Amino acid sequence: MKIKKIPGLTFTGLLAWAFFLLVNLPAAFVYQMAPVPRNVSASNITGTVWSGQVGEVTFNNITLTSVNWDIKPSALLGRALEADITVGDLQSPVSAETTVRATLSDVSLKDTTLDVTAQWLQSQFPMPDFVIVDVLGNINLDVQTLHVNRQGCQALDGLVALERSSLNSPFGDIRLGEAGARLNCEAGTLTALVNQSSSDISTEGEFTLRPNMSFNLAATLTPGEDMPGQLRQGLDFLGQPEGDDAYSLSFSGRL
């Protein structure tokens, strides 16, 4: 009887050993064996494939530090991959946290926050040479829900805000004061309702981006009593202001 039990015990032991290896599979080993794209690199990888950290990851010359993940195995039962992800810390130019859930047909984010300095953002995405304005301050993004599938963005509830922000130019500086935008999307079309107010300038507008990457921007700009004189004079190229000294702006094109 003991001899007959050995194969069963051996099979059980192999399963236990395989499960142990899977649970403790080093993330660094998976990275070395995986077909990583040439535009992606990572260093200082620790932990397991289920819960680990990358000291630094670079994608298309964009570098993020201290990337942590914690995969939820229970989501695999529903044929989905779900993980809690954090990036950076209080000293990093970029810090974020989110819960991402991905299936073969869609991706969802919830409870997402992002904090990035405007200086870092400009360094990664330089403005055209003819734009001689520097943006200072912090950009905070708070997204409660985001749902994207093959048809594009299907649902979005988010808010982006600028803190301690200003525009610096050779003709003077503009304090932006309270500035932000409410974000939403439907059927692949993204909409941002912009509102900004300070003693230098006030702005209200709507930005729309469609799935084919065409966009529309309609806004009104009202100079404040503290706007630098040179900048106020430069607004003449926008045309004649309306009765309340507000200038109407309208742009459309394709990204």
- pLDDT per residue as tens digits for the range 148-157: 998 889 999 9
pLDDT of residue 245: 84
d(CA 14, CA 27): 22
Query: pLDDT higher for 7 or 188?
Result: 188
Q: Mind listing the pLDDT tens digit for each residue in 184-241? A: 998 899 999 999 999 999 999 999 999 888 999 999 999 999 988 888 888 877 778 8
On whether residue 53 sits in a domain, the answer given is no
3-state SS string for the chain: CHHHHHHHHHHHHHHHHHHHHHHCCEHHHHHHHCCCCCCEEEEEEEEECCEEEEEEEEECCEEEEEEEEEECHHHHHHCCEEEEEEECCCCCCEEEEEEEEECCCEEEEEEEEEEEEHHHHHHHCCCCCCCCCEEEEEEEEEEEEEEEECCEEEEEEEEEEEEEEEEEECCEEEECEEEEEEEEEECCEEEEEEEEECCCEEEEEEEEECCCCEEEEEEEEEECCCCCHHHHHHHHHHCCCCCCCCEEEEEEEEC
Mean pLDDT of the chain: 86
pLDDT of residue 200: 92
On whether residue 95 sits in a domain, the answer given is no
Task: Render 43-63 in DSSP notation, one character per residue.
Answer: EEEEEBSSEEEEEEEEETTEE
Domain interval for residue 250: 105-254
On whether residue 74 sits in a domain, the answer given is no
Identity at 234, one-letter amino acid code: G
On whether residue 20 sits in a domain, the answer given is no
pLDDT of residue 16: 59
Query: pLDDT higher for 16 or 226?
Result: 226
On whether residue 168 sits in a domain, the answer given is yes
* Range 121-127 average pLDDT: 79
Query: pLDDT higher for 254 or 98?
Result: 98
**pLDDT value at 69 more than 90:** yes
Highest mean pLDDT among 5-9, 16-20, 156-160, 235-239: 156-160
On whether residue 6 sits in a domain, the answer given is no
**pLDDT value at 171 more than 50:** yes
Say if residues 81 and 101 touch (Cβ distance below 8 Å): yes
d(CA 249, CA 164): 25
**pLDDT value at 19 more than 60:** no
**pLDDT value at 1 more than 50:** no
On whether residue 214 sits in a domain, the answer given is yes
Work out how many domains the chain is built from and give that number. 1
Q: Say if strands 134-149 and 152-169 run parallel, antiparallel, or are unpaired.
A: antiparallel
pLDDT of residue 236: 78
* Range 45-54 average pLDDT: 92
On whether residue 7 sits in a domain, the answer given is no
Three-class secondary structure of residue 166 per DSSP: strand
